[in-house]
Structure 1
Amino acid sequence: MFERFLAAFAVSDGPSVAPRVPVTSVELWLDAAGGRAFEGGLYRVHTRPSARASDALVREAFPEFAGRLSCFGYDWLGRQFATDSGRGKDGDPEVMLFEPGSGEALEIPVPFSRFHDEELIDYTEEALARSFFDEWRRSGGQAPKIAECVGYQRPLFLGGDDAVANLEISDLDVYWTIMGQFRRQAKGLPKGTPITAVVRDQS
C-alpha cells in the first residue's frame, strides 16, 4: 500500500514518509503521513486532531452522512476525502469526496486500501483538479499552507463561476463553516431559485 503514491507524489511540507509498520488502516496512515503536504499543496494528509475537527465540519455541512465518515485527507480546494462506513468491506471502507464549493458529496468506488495508489495516481485530474491548481499557481496564486485552502469566493451552488477569478486563499475551518451554513440554507430549493440573501448561523 502507498508505494505508487509515495513514488509519484513528492512531500513538499514535512519530513519524508517512511512507515515503521505496514499501513493497513486510516489511523496508521495518519500516524505515518499526518500533516504532510504533497506536490506543493495539491494534497495533504490529516493529523489525528485535524481529522477529528474535519469530521465535525463535514457532519455540519452534510448531516445526512453523520456517523458514517472519517476524514483522512484534503486537497487544495478544501475538499475532504473520507472513508464511508456505509460502503465497502468491514475494515476497508470505500471513499467519499465532500466538496464545500459545490455542495456535493461524491462516492468514489475504491476502498481506502487502494485509494492513494490507484485513484490519486491514475485519476489525478478527476480526484485533485490538478490542471486547475496549476492554473491558479500560474496566475500568481499561493499554495495553501496547513489549515488553509483555496476556496470559492462565491460557491458554485449559489451561482459562482468555476474559474480562477472566483478563488481566494481561505482558512480551512472558516471556509467549511461558512459553506456548510450556505449549503444547509440552500438545500431543497428548486433549481434556478434566485438567492437574494444568505443569513449566517449565529450558533
Structure 2
Amino acid sequence: MNFDTFLSKYTENEELRVFDDEDLESNDLLTERINTLEDLFSRLGGKTFNNGLVRVCTKKGAYKLTRCFEKMYSNGKDNILVFAFDWLGRHFAIDYTGKNSTEDQTFLLEPGSGEHLLIPAGVEGFFNYILINLAQDALAAESFNEWFNISKTVIGFDECVGYKVPLFLGGDDDFHNFEITNTEVYIEICIQLLHRTKKLKPGQTINSIRFEDN
C-alpha cells in the first residue's frame, strides 16, 4: 500500500506517537486480518495527524477497538476491522461482510449516535482520496478547525472530543455538548447506554444510570 498522497497533505504530531508494548499474541481471524494490513500499521500505526484530527490504530489498538465495536454494530460477528479514528471518537473500519478483500468498503462508526455510514473506498482509497478530497464529510474538518482555534488543545492519542449527552439520548450536536474524554471509556459508555435504551418508548424518562464493568 502507498500512502504518499495522504502524507503529503497531513502533518504528523510526532511527539504523540504511541507504540504497542508487545506483539499481538491472539491467533484468530481478526489477528489474521490485522496482519494483512502490515503496510498500514508499520507506516502509520500509532500516529496522530493534524493535532488530533485523525489517528491510526496500532495493531493491538485495532484488535481491542474492533472487539468493542462488534458489541455495538455487528452482534459479536467477525465482520469489521477498526483501523483509524477521528477527533470526535468516530472510528473507521473495513467491512468484511460477504467479502474477503480490504479494497471494498469502509464504515464510519459513530458511538455518540449509534449509527454507521458507508464510505465507498478501501483502506488505501480512504487515506489517499477520501481524506484528501472529502475531509469535511469524513472528519468534520471544518468543525475541528473551529473547535481547535477556540480550545487551542491538541488531543492526546487515547482521547477524543465526545458528547456529554449522546445524540441518541437527545444531546445537541454542538460545542456546548462536547468534552475531551478517554476514547475507550467513551465507547464503552455509549455502548452500554445504547443497549439499555433501545427498548425505551419515546419520551420515557431515565431515572438513573449505572455502569457495569466488563
Fold equivalence (TM over 0.5): yes
1:8-64 C-alpha deviation (Å, 9 max, x unpaired): 111123599xxxxxxxx5332011111111111100011001111101111122244
Task: Report SS of the residue matched to 1:98.
Answer: strand
Secondary structure, counterpart of 2:181 in structure 1 = strand
SS of the residue aligned with 2:78?
A: coil
Where does residue 55 of structure 1 map in the other structure? 66
Which of 150, 155, 162 is the equivalent residue of 2:166?
155
Q: Which residue of 2 aligns with 1:186?
A: 197
* 1:79 Cα offset (Å): 0.7
Letter aligned with residue 194 of structure 1: Q
Q: Do structure 1's residue 201 and structure 2's residue 212 form an aligned pair?
A: yes
**Which position in structure 2 is the counterpart of 1:168?**
179
The structure-2 alpha-carbon separation of the partners of 1:91 and 1:166, relative to structure 1 and needing over 3 Å to count, comes to closer
Q: Which runs of 5+ in 1 are unaligned?
A: 17-24
CA pair 106-195 structure 1, distance change in 2 beyond 3 A: farther
SS at match of 1:71: strand
Structure 2: gaps (5+ residues): 18-35
What amino acid is the match of 1:66? Answer: K
**Partner of residue 37, structure 1:** 48
SS at match of 1:107: strand
User: Alpha-carbon deviation of 1:87?
Assistant: 6.1
Structure 1 contact 88–111 (Cα < 8 Å) conserved: no
TM-aligned CA deviation for residue 141 of structure 1: 5.5
Q: Does 1:144 align with 2:155?
A: yes
Residue equivalent to 2:13? 12
In structure 2, do the counterparts of structure 1 residues 195 and 141 end up closer, same or farther at CA, with 3 Å as the change threshold? Answer: farther
Query: Residues of 2 paired with 1:201 and 1:15: CA distance?
Result: 31
SS of 1:170 mapped into structure 2: strand
**Structure with a larger share of its residues in strand:** 1
2:3 equivalent in structure 1: 2
Q: Is the 8 A contact 2:103 2:121 kept in 1?
A: no
Residue 26 of structure 1, aligned match among 18, 24, 37: 37
Letter paired with 2:66: D
- Contact 1:148/1:172 (<8 A) preserved: yes
- RMSD after superposition: 2.3
Displacement of 1:135 in angstroms is 2.0
The TM-score with structure 2 as length reference comes to 0.82
Q: Letter of the aligned partner of 2:204 in structure 1?
A: P
- Within the candidate set 66, 76, 89, 2:87 is matched to 76
| Corresponding letter in the other structure for 1:164 | F
Residue in structure 2 matching 1:116, options 127, 133, 138: 127
Asked whether the 8 Å contact 1:62–1:180 carries over to 2, the reply is no
**CA distance in 2: counterparts of 1:65 and 1:124, whole angstroms:** 30
Confirm or deny: 8 A CA contact 1:136 1:164 kept in the other structure. Answer: yes
Q: Does 1:101 align with 2:102?
A: no
Describe the SS at the equivalent of 2:204.
coil
| Matched AA of 1:148 | E
On the 8 A contact 1:87/1:93 being kept in 2, the answer is no
Summarize the Cα distance change of 1:141–1:163 in structure 2 as closer, same or farther, 3 Å threshold. Answer: farther
1:195 deviates by: 4.0
Relative to structure 1, is the Cα distance of residues 102 and 28 closer, same or farther in structure 2, using a 3 angstrom cutoff? Answer: same
